[in-house]
Amino acid sequence: MASHLHQNIDKNKLSQSVIINPPPHILIVIARFYHDIADELLLGASEYLKTIKATHDLLEVPGAFEIPSAINMAFMGRKQYPSQPQIGGAIALGCVIRGETSHYDYVCGESARGLQQLALQFLLPIGNGILTVENKAQAWERARRNRQNKGAEAAHACASMVVIKNKFFSRSK
């Protein structure tokens, strides 16, 4: 019960710390490989976005490795169609669990590198909610909304970066 109360305090603190006017349109890209964990991350991120009145689109990809490419395709595609809501930020959600081979290291490293490259190259606010863990128990501890709620944390990180970008690139200076 104390953990749940602590999490509620954190959620309230997170939602009060970010005010964005007008609220941004956010792209959530979710890796479905561990669909149950991904669903919990998505619920946390979606609930947080509601608290800041942000709208969002959802794209599903097979695994974490595909997330940066999907964000890039969506971001570049939307730039060609100004009548569509422009992407003000992105949230990457997924889970990579260490196995018996080096595949884990490549997926974790390359997905993180791809997200950082997008953020730097296009000044795109990104919240990285890709869990990199040793086992499912660690994943659930981080994903559950009444525990660490990393989905909401990724959404908060994205929103915080939107605020910073708006501060320096706002049209109404």
Could you list the active site residues? 103
Contacts of 89 (CB under 8 A, 6+ apart): 24, 26, 27, 124, 125, 126, 127, 158, 159, 161, 162
Given a contact cutoff of 8 angstroms between Cβ atoms, the answer to whether 152 and 93 are in contact is: no
